[in-house]
Chains A and B, each alone.
Chain A
Amino acid sequence: MNLSLYVVNAFIVLDTDGHRVLAKYFSPKARTQLGEPDPNKGLQGLKEQRAFEKGLFAKTRKAGGDIILYDGHLAVYKHSLDLIFYMLGGPLENELMLHSALIAFMDAIHLLLRNQVEKRAVLENLDCVILCLDETIDDGVIVETDATTIASRVSRPRADTTEIVINEQTILNAYQTVKEKMQQRIGQF
């Protein structure tokens, strides 16, 4: 029975060939300090992690399973176009708790990537994806399960103010935007 808040042991994203797109294994120092065993024992090295991910992928490549107990890790996963997102927990973890964390992350990432959750979009918006993960899980502790809150807490990069060039084109763009918005507003009445 896991009496601590350390619920998530790893977060992994694999592509359809089983290659790692992103992986974060949580081995919180505080947990070992409390005398609990490291949940990712035997998964410290990159080689071991790769082997583990390969085996996990082989078991979960087909969509529709959602959950599996693999090699002593409870893994909930979600397919999204050409990616698979995994959330790993201890073997005795409450399946629904782990699942709620994954769902929160997935929903948030869908909001952030405007429902285009695929490999290309993830790589192009890596900053948002890793911040989103950080807002969902902090070193194994679930920070938030409300997807809209998570998504709203991820800041988006803005163009550098120094680089904004005001010329005919940008002014025209601004004018177009204003016009569209106004038309929408007026249309509402």
Chain B
Amino acid sequence: MSEPTTITARAIRERLAAALGHAVSVSGPGKAAARADDEMLVMVTREEFAAAVTAIRDTGARHVMLVGFDLRRPASTSGSSAARAAEARSAAAAGGAGASAAAAGGAGAEAKSAAEAASAARPGAGLAIEEVLAVPNGPIVRLRVEIPPDDRTYPSLTPLVPAAQWDERECHDLHGIVPAGHPDLRPLVIHEPDPPAAPYKSFVAHGSGVYQLPVGPIHAGVIEPGHFRFSAVGESVLYLDARLFYTHRGLERFVEGRTFAEALPIVERACGVCTVTHATVYSRAVEQLTDTEIPPRARAARVLLAEMERLYNHVGDLGNMCAGVGFNFGTSRLGWQKERLLRLNEALTGHRYLMGVVAPGGLRLDLEKRGLVGLGAAVAEIEHEVRSIVRLLVRSDSFMSRLHGTGILTRAEALRLGALGVAARASGLPDDLRRDRPADGYADIEVPQIGSATGDVAARFHVRAQEAAVSAALIKELAGSLPAGPAMVVPPGGPRSGSVALAGAEGPRGASWLWLMAGADGRIERLHLRSASYANWPVLASVVPGNLVPDFPLINKSFELCYACTDR
């Protein structure tokens, strides 16, 4: 996949040295020397942070995530990690959050020794943030800054990298780290902070004839909660302020102190429609930490499952776009094709939404033979149906006239706000992790590039339809040629405490990234999941102004963002 203009880790280091005026120390990702050009960790001071980020950004790098962590917390605030784990478990038992029953046993002594080992292993470790940037055709750069506990500030990155705006607000909410100079530090995650902050205020436009339209968080349909404050004149939207995180469940905190096996179903269930993506990024992060090589069958099967997930999502989302303009024909016909795909999922894995299959080391369950037999033909037949429905939709003037020119996302804006997935590809950005940083079986296949430059709802519609066809072709190819052999290897022993792995995967909504820090004794110290929807929500809010109020449902459905994995 290497392109002619590859940027090496060495080039990045030289760039940073030039920007900061001194040589920087760089550590690679663990012991795998082969991946030295894939990922690098650079420690910088608070004062150097902005300059370092600017230097990396100027290579054309994209913001991946900003993660904050507080490693002092176990010792200094809420007691040992054993106590935290026990508390989390009782919460799980009370809330029925789906923790495995095995987790409840043997919490005490084992976890306690883990906590002791953890605090012993990292003397002086404390509050820190990491800005992760992906250099195109180059490494992923993790810039880590230690934050002194008595002065929890650092210069905000949002003016330099607008895509980091929500990450910084979240870090501010959850870790009390203040990004000085951030243009909008209203609470994002914690709606009712303790101690109470100033009351939340929606941003609105003022002027004669401007009215406000508050929508949600409870909607007329059975959908996820989000509050949208429109400022409108007549039917034209002047400004949209979206407030999410009504479904914040604290999943990241919940998995801290748990074993890798215990956390898997939690991460997988961050939302219900990108389960393969989230299980895969988690599994790959664990595999990196434990230096596990998954067997060929699992490599290929993960691609198959990821494409099944993309296909049913894309087909359903095309149908939902019809619902956005009230075009019942498309909604019902495509809804039925999605249902057929869900049934294939069930035959293949025993679960309509593909849960409980992907796991660290490969696949927890091998694919069902009865599901694999004839899968390629069935998917091809469904794809044929979808294609003919889409052809009818494209021929419908009443439908297409609603899509053209609606909700235009320009390339510049997509780049500025870090749009991902279909939204980015429909606006002229070729970003696709399957091509850019292929992992698992994607390294063995060629995924064709699909895109459009117009950036409107119609472009997102066409990109989705074409990607669905590509997914179907990949599934057809893989279903007939899955390598034989085991689908799972047991990961070798626990990773070194404090080591970090970062994994990304291209899901139906774009790239989801997971940052995972190992604690002692094969437990999780800190986990951060940044889903594609998280990146695209601010993009959606910036696209809507200038459009008509009743076109919002259509624009919203053309992005098809998820609330649950944004809120976590």
Do these two chains really belong together in a complex? no
